[in-house]
Amino acid sequence: MDKVILTGDRPTGRLHIGHYVGSLRSRVELQNKGDYDKFYIMIADVQALTDNWDNPEKVRQNIIEVALDYLSVGIDPSKVTIFVQSGVKGLFELTCFYMDVVTLARVQRNPTIKSELKMRGFGESIPCGFLTYPISQAADITGFDATIIPVGDDQLPMIEQAREIVRSINGIYGETLYEPEAVLPENDACRRLPGIDGNAKMSKSLGNCIYLSDDEETVNKKVMSMYTDPDHIRVEDPGKVEGNMVFTYLDCFCKEDSFERFLPEFKDLDELKAAYKKGGLGDVKIKRFLAAILNDELAPVREKRKYYEEHINEVFDILKKGTEDASKHCDEVVNRLRKNMKIDYFDNKEIISKYEGV
């Protein structure tokens, strides 16, 4: 069995540093380790349309934005196939067949769907496509024989759903699909980076994101506006580290040499936290430190982004070629399933064989 990695994102906005620490960074590491046969990254525009059907322009714009984000963090198109979901027609076919083996009750039980439905306030008017997107996502995964799915923990119910579909399909039609497994980010502090305002979710609609494409000045401004400890009023006051966004972000972004380079008067994060708790350490100082670390991390990202923005035709060709490659692989899976379902009527004459010679 080949080792196939697949993951993806909805193109509903530019990617932010929460995406970066939660998934993009580890994708680049995986890519550079090279321990795989195929590595796919999907821009999930069909899924994005399930709750943006009335705004296809937004999805369209963000296909290029997300591709730029991928390339600028160091995803290498010679090692990873980046593709656009809607261009792989086999996925629609798989989704359709998988629908038959999933009950409505099962999709309604999906915890991610439940909370998303509440959040979007569809009320009684839930689009069928939205409710069933976990089934389409099972197609995304199995359509390329992917078994390793690096995702955030909010996606675990999707992977579980995909595994169930694989078992059902294989149980009914014989061994056809591979069971995928989720791979979660290693660093716990990074699994879900909160917004700069302290809200548990970093999201475009809350306006609390730092984007990968933000310039230095914007990052500085955003860090300075970050939620810290509201009771830490004077520098001498003892401060709280828990729930203080600057420390939450430092837990995630601080590297071994960060102190030496940007704040040499402290040895490490433990020492900095102790000083803050004790009192005598001001917010501006820790914010400047965080901003320096973030800007250092983002500098090469900005540089690559600039290159690709200036060579946008390259980006277009990468997506086009990636989508063609992905389509070929998906067609193989579709044909396998059709054969095992015995609906490959026109590939052989079995359908009429019992009449022949009558």
**Using CB under 6 A as the criterion, which residues of the chain lie in contact with ligand TRP when the complex forms?**
6-10, 42, 44, 47, 137, 140-141, 149, 151, 155
Residues 263 and 240: their CA atoms lie apart, in Å, by 20
CA nearest 298: which of 215, 218, 189? 215
- Report the interhelical angle of 156-173 vs 111-120 (nearest 10°): 130
- Residue number with CB closer to ligand TRP (137 or 244): 137
Tokens read off for 119: 């959040």
- Residue number with CB closer to ligand TRP (193 or 226): 193
Q: Report the 10 Å Cβ neighbour count for 245.
A: 23
Shortest approach of ligand TRP to residue 352 CB, angstroms? Answer: 40
Question: Which residue's structure tokens are 């026109």?
Answer: 346
Shortest approach of ligand TRP to residue 175 CB, angstroms? Answer: 22
Shortest approach of ligand TRP to residue 95 CB, angstroms? Answer: 11
- Residue number with CB closer to ligand TRP (138 or 272): 138
- Residue number with CB closer to ligand TRP (80 or 149): 149
- Residue number with CB closer to ligand TRP (68 or 223): 68
Residues 311 and 323: their CA atoms lie apart, in Å, by 19
- Residue number with CB closer to ligand TRP (212 or 263): 212
- Residue number with CB closer to ligand TRP (91 or 301): 91
- Go through 65-89 and write b for each residue having 16 or more CB atoms within 10 A of its CB, e for each that does not: bbbbbbbbbbbebeebbbbbbbbbe
Residues 239 and 227: their CA atoms lie apart, in Å, by 13
Q: What is the 3-state secondary structure (H, E, C) of 273-317?
A: HHHHHHCCCCHHHHHHHHHHHHHHHHHHHHHHHHHHHHCHHHHHH
Shortest approach of ligand TRP to residue 196 CB, angstroms? Answer: 21
CA nearest 132: which of 50, 49, 48? 50
CA nearest 219: which of 265, 253, 266, 257? 253
Decide if 15 contacts 66 (C-beta within 8 A): yes
Q: Who contacts 327 (Cβ-Cβ below 8 Å, separation ≥6)?
A: 83, 87, 88, 89, 90
Shortest approach of ligand TRP to residue 38 CB, angstroms? Answer: 14
Shortest approach of ligand TRP to residue 23 CB, angstroms? Answer: 8
- Residue number with CB closer to ligand TRP (250 or 326): 326
Give strand pairing partners of 19. Answer: none
Tokens read off for 283: 């917010």
Shortest approach of ligand TRP to residue 124 CB, angstroms? Answer: 24
- Residue number with CB closer to ligand TRP (158 or 290): 158
Decide if 258 contacts 252 (C-beta within 8 A): no
Shortest approach of ligand TRP to residue 40 CB, angstroms? Answer: 9
Shortest approach of ligand TRP to residue 226 CB, angstroms? Answer: 25
